[in-house]
Amino acid sequence: MTRALLGEAHKAVHQAEHLFTVIYPFTHDTKLLVAILANLQKANATALAFLAEQEGLKLSHQEMMEWLLQDKRMPNDVLNAVIDLDGLMQLQKDCPVEFIRKDRFVLCTDSYNVRTISSKEINYYLAKTKVFIEKTISITAP
């Protein structure tokens, strides 16, 4: 089961990378940015489940993130990117208004707080997700 989780994480990253590097430049469909982020979040969650299983921990997603923060084996910038991505995807789910403006996907909350998603941010999250998976593998290596 553990190797299957790792395979799922790699598959989700590969799908996100394909969408971002092949499909998005061809179509310039800004709605793809949310799908790419969803794949990256899936990869992070699956890698986290892999780590929990390898470490023998029965913790929730949030508890695993807190455990990683205390554990100090994962770089803080990578963890912050994973936490930010989780928050961004939760905002997208809860957000009543979303629209496209100048190659950016805009999320607007009930209180009119605005958050934008650009291809530059996608590139950042993609890189950090790859590092997160690699560090997860190195943490669990004997």
Q: What is the pLDDT of residues 23-50, one digit of tens each?
A: 999 998 999 999 999 999 999 999 999 9
CB half-sphere exposure, 98, CA atoms < 13 A: 18
Q: What is the pLDDT of residues 61-113, one digit of tens each?
A: 888 888 888 888 889 999 999 999 999 999 999 999 999 998 899 999 888 88
Measured distance CA(37)–CA(55) in Å, rounded:
27
pTM of the predicted model as reported, rounded to 2 decimal places: 0.91
Amino acid at the residue 126 = L
Phi-psi region of 2 (alpha: psi -120 to 50; beta: other; left: phi over 0): alpha
Specify the CATH number of the domain 2-140. 1.20.120.330
Measured distance CA(104)–CA(20) in Å, rounded:
14
How high is the pLDDT of residue 64? 86
